[in-house]
Structure 1
Amino acid sequence: MDTDFYLVRHGKKEPGTGDVPLSTEGISQAQATARHFRAMRIHRIVSSPLLRSAQTAVILAKETVAQVSEDIRLRERANWGDLPGQTFEAFVESWERCTLERDFSPPAGDSARKAGERLASCLSDLAAEHPGETILLVTHGGLITDFLVNVIPEAALMAIRPNFIAEQSKLVSECSITIVSCRNGTFALRDFASVNHLP
């Protein structure tokens, strides 16, 4: 029996370092996303603990009447501000190296491969515990593509975007929806980074 996952990237965040909240635009994006899910049967919502995701999850919960829990495995690969004194330029340089060298571990955070593995672990556990359910995961763009590069054949990703792996950091917009199903530990990609629900 398939468990269906809707991977929602958080809404647009305020600029700045650290665990920053949603911006006004991000709140509007989350509200539009919540309206999209209003008519669907959502069994539960699981969120990254970072504030921008947690706030998005609360907005989604108001329309879906689903309970929200947090799972640290949904945290981004790395977050600017986790390494004290790190400049934005240094953060971006480290991020891009992680994307190209999937086993490179940044000074603060996980390698791209390890990040993708922890999201896969989260989904596998949820699928085993809740077979047949529809679950919203509120997480981060980098983590979504790290996961997909790990579990979806490269040819399938290249069919979505010819330079998917190189361009992955630009492909998942705020409050976009990626749909993945899981059966017996095997993942299938149903839709990628859709923004058709956003105004």
Structure 2
Amino acid sequence: MEKKIYVIRHCEAEGQPKEAPLTEIGIQQAADLAGFFEEVKINRIISSPFLRSIQSIEQVAKWAKVNIEIDERLAERLLSTELLPDWLEKLKATFDDLDLKFDRGESSREAMQRIMGVVEEIFKSDSQNTLIVTHGNLMSLLFKNYLPDFGFEQWRRLSNPDVYLLKFSNDKLTIDRLWQC
């Protein structure tokens, strides 16, 4: 049976905290996202617990008449508990060294294992078309698991929102970017 997982990066938000809502532009992007999925038969929607992720997919869930399942494993990666003025350089380093960790933060490998757990469960489930809504860094680490060359520069080129399709068919996995800004 063919399995499809649509991996979605949330729409534009007002900030990074868990409770940061979508901006006005983000609200319009969420409407555009709903239009994008109009022709897709959706069996499941699984989202990060962050408000921006939930708000990004609410219109799709309403239209598809599918409940949004919240999964903590799709939450934003915590790079560090300390304020890092050079956070971008540190993030770049974590794409090269998957075990690099800062101040009670999460390594790339740990974050990758989190999202891979979600994806593996979906592939083993009966659901044929699942949407997962998450964050750019975590999404990038998922792709890096399958495509080792997917790194910092590819992360920088992600958009808000963004949509990729992971398709598993005949024991073969393909990854395609579907969203065109």
State the TM-score bracket (shorter-chain normalisation): 0.7 to 0.9
What SS class does the counterpart of residue 151 from structure 2 fall into? helix
- Relative to structure 1, the CA distance from residue 168 to residue 108 in structure 2 (aligned partners, 3 Å threshold; closer, same or farther) is farther
Tell me by how many angstroms 1:83 deviates.
2.4
* Distance verdict in 2 for CA 1:110–1:4, change over 3 Å: same
Q: Which amino acid aligns with 2:74?
A: L
Comparing 103-112 with 18-27, greater Cα deviation is found at: 103-112
RMSD: 2.3
- Shift of residue 183 of structure 1? 5.9
Q: How does 1:91-106 map to 2 (within 5 A)?
A: 91-106=87-102
| Counterpart mapping for 1:42-57 below 5 A | 42-57=42-57
CA distance in 2, matches of 1:110, 1:41: 35
Q: How far 1:181 sits from its partner (Å)?
A: 2.1
Name 1:173's counterpart in structure 2: 159
Instruction: Indicate the percent of aligned positions where both proteins have the same amino acid.
Output: 28
Match of 1:190 in 2: 175
SS at match of 1:4: strand
TM-score in terms of structure 2 length: 0.87
User: Which residue pairs with 1:137 in the alignment?
Assistant: 132
Partner of residue 9, structure 1: 9
CA contact 1:113–1:150 (8 Å) conserved in 2? no
1:83 and 2:81 equivalent? Answer: yes
Gaps of 5+ in 2: none
Aligned-pair CA distance for 1:76: 2.1
Rounded Cα–Cα distance in structure 2 between residues aligned with 1:91 and 1:26: 24
Whether the 8 Å CA contact 1:49–1:72 is kept in 2: the answer is yes
Displacement of 1:108: 4.2
Q: Number of residue pairs matched?
A: 180
Aligned ranges 1:140-159 → 2 under 5 Å:
140-152=135-147, 154=148
Gaps of 5+ in 1: 158-163
Give the aligned partner of residue 18 of structure 1. Answer: 17
**What's the offset of the Cα at 1:3?**
1.6
For 2:169 and 2:113, the matched residues in 1 are separated by 17
Q: Displacement, 1:96? A: 2.5
Match of 1:71 in 2: 71
Task: Give the CA deviation at 1:117.
Answer: 1.8
Give the deviation of 1:182 after TM superposition.
Answer: 3.5
Is this contact kept in 1: 2:92–2:152, CA < 8 A? no
How far apart in 2 are the matches of 1:120 and 1:46? 14
Equivalent residue number for residue 111 of structure 1: 107
